[in-house]
Amino acid sequence: MNLASDVPTAAALCLGLPILVGVVFVFAAGFAFARDQAQQQHTRQINEDVARRVRLDAMSQTAFRDYVCSLLVRRGYAARVVEIDPDAEPVPLMLLIVETPQARRLALTLRYARAVSPATLRLLEQRKAAFGCAATMVITSGSFREDARQLAGQLGCELVDRVALVAWILEAHPEWRAV
């Protein structure tokens, strides 16, 4: 009789333990997911607070170009504004020459609310030789379309989106991290 009463207990233990482990795993995974979502929301909030503080979305294209140039200089790059003849370009481009240890880059700055398209990268790629540059870079206050990211990989174009740009700003102003 004793042996018979132990059998259901052993079977219940064999089935109950994996279920218990599964429940604990699901709870832990849900907790980690919620914590990760909260951290991402906090990071997005800091990024937007920093963007508001520097008035990133209110800058003119020229002011944005000049601000990006100053951030590049603070990061240790030799950067200078390229003056373009407005009559020579159908669309005035906000360009910088950025000297990096790897290459001389033609950088296009875009204060832009939408996602940058591949056409923008192609336009910059066509212009780089005229400025004696071996590579290109696009710096935007917005984002990049996925097809633009793929093209950038093929062209060797460095992309700096809003998130990376805010990281540059925070490098220049680490005290703003606690905002």
Q: What does the pLDDT profile of the chain (179 residues) look like in tens digits?
A: 455 555 556 655 566 666 767 766 666 666 666 666 666 677 778 888 888 899 999 999 889 999 999 999 998 889 888 876 555 555 567 888 888 777 889 888 988 888 999 999 999 999 898 888 999 999 999 999 999 999 999 999 999 999 999 999 999 888 877 65
Rounded alpha-carbon distances, angstroms, from residue 159 to 28, 55, 167: 36, 21, 14
Rounded alpha-carbon distances, angstroms, from residue 65 to 105, 112, 169, 178: 15, 12, 14, 27
- The residue extents of the domains of the chain are 1-53, 57-178
Fold of the 57-178 domain: Trna Endonuclease; Chain: A, domain 1 (3.40.1350)
**N-terminal to C-terminal alpha carbon distance within the chain:** 69
Residue 83: CB atoms within 10 Å: 7
pLDDT digits (tens, 9 = 90+) for 11-63: 555 666 667 677 666 666 666 666 666 666 777 788 888 888 999 999 998 89
